[in-house]
Structure 1
């Protein structure tokens, strides 16, 4: 169909994201090039998704693939990844996508990418395949990732969503949602920001409940407004919670021009729409979405999860024989030597197997 694809001057001038998150450029690349290429062992798939999610930049992923070959946890060496990333960063190539840039965790290094590699290792040493497979609710998974250093609410939610494109997380799209900053602003413009702020004081989950209501009542609202909504793919899938959350960000952007009197934190739309003649690959939906487990809605019965503190092992420095078993002296990231603790060997083998392996290898020499 030739342009223009809309008679709305705002849509003609500015760039907007797809209604469905899975159709966005990054999501399509993630599914096609990251998830469905390479070993399909669950640990390797999780490794690739987390690595991609750290930078969320196609060029960074392609650089690593070009320089290091197939990216696998089995062959992972921090020094190799650090060398490649440092070389291009030192000549001015950005490693991160601005829209998704994440604060670096504090693992004792100056460079953000080195600290992020440390976070990758900590996550991969946490026996994720079993933890994710045994989770009863998607909110549990979100709560677990949220507890790690530097994992903010919205960045954690984006990681969880990326993992739902894999067989690691077979949950319904109607299970769980977090309203990001853009969606929160969009809801404020729809229902009145002052009114929402007042309700949130006594009802902190109101934004997520509104997103759920919009998702559950979308067909009735389309009919009321005389809109023909075709849905996603050959099965005409309706919008899930994430898609409504995703679309509310675009409502916020659109309202900046359509309703400038309704004030928000941002007043302009930065991205201008530029048509391209580039041919994109055919749309792909995640193969994991075919799992029958995803048809069962499992809503977290408690309040929205909040961030708790997770202590991360820096290294093991000594051992001793305790009353019942061997104990290791553990140094913790972000804490001084005076804060070292003695921990039972069985706990360390379960929680930080790589640190145990590294220490035992060091005392053999």
Structure 2
């Protein structure tokens, strides 16, 4: 596993957070009076110029959080409580017109899961750039095309391809084109939702290289959403692990790599192979997350957790500081026991240094 150059700077706090997600509940109404409580009491912060990873299995609420940030929830979805602050301003109650005018593209842009469904198949890419500029900027047609040409160079595409149609690009080239469009209005925050889905491993690495190069060149922040915890360890500065609509653990990637303290974070990390330990038996997380037809008043991982006790079902867990570190939080009542309880699943770093430093 490679370690990116910027990843070890997690301790360099910038100014005010660019995004604050505070105690947010998100529900989807279904037929009748029923609701699915997709996200429950979720809290995390993304600092300026921070690459933040949100990881968890499919259906845990990751993409719902991304949709909520840009006002993209389905018609049956709503933020029922909590606040979302972008650059200090609450945006959770913004109207569609407010999101279009103040947030989308120019402040927060999105690299979606499927690039092939995000580009208009009957319009040349240059035409699509002109449309974006028409509705969101004062750029002329020529200026919009020139900007797209510059961004194609940034993401490693030939400038001569700006007048091609999407079907003339490979999947990896389409994804790079989407990255170019995400930068078009020079946003402060980019949400990358499974940005390497459906790409082969070589193209995945190239796309991640392009995403990481933006950090120094464009001074942006990133919310990277993925089910692959190794991608987060490799590319992000801080992170949160989700399970069943709840945040399970949050902190900088070094701490969550070296000192995971939520059972789900521990088992998830050990479910991925590690080239340093080729003979290690991979962890298996048995069972399924709850259906969340009611707001959970328990730890949603309790049924799957090998270390759960009766108290795990007696209330949704509050965050616990790991070993007194306020920047490393685990939503588990046994967080500070996990070092002993899960000893067989934890790999200890060399004394005085991080395993990530050893890999680097």
- Relative to the length of structure 2, the TM-score reads 0.30
Q: Which structure is higher in helix share?
A: 1
- Relative to the length of structure 1, the TM-score reads 0.29
Q: Which structure is higher in strand share?
A: 2
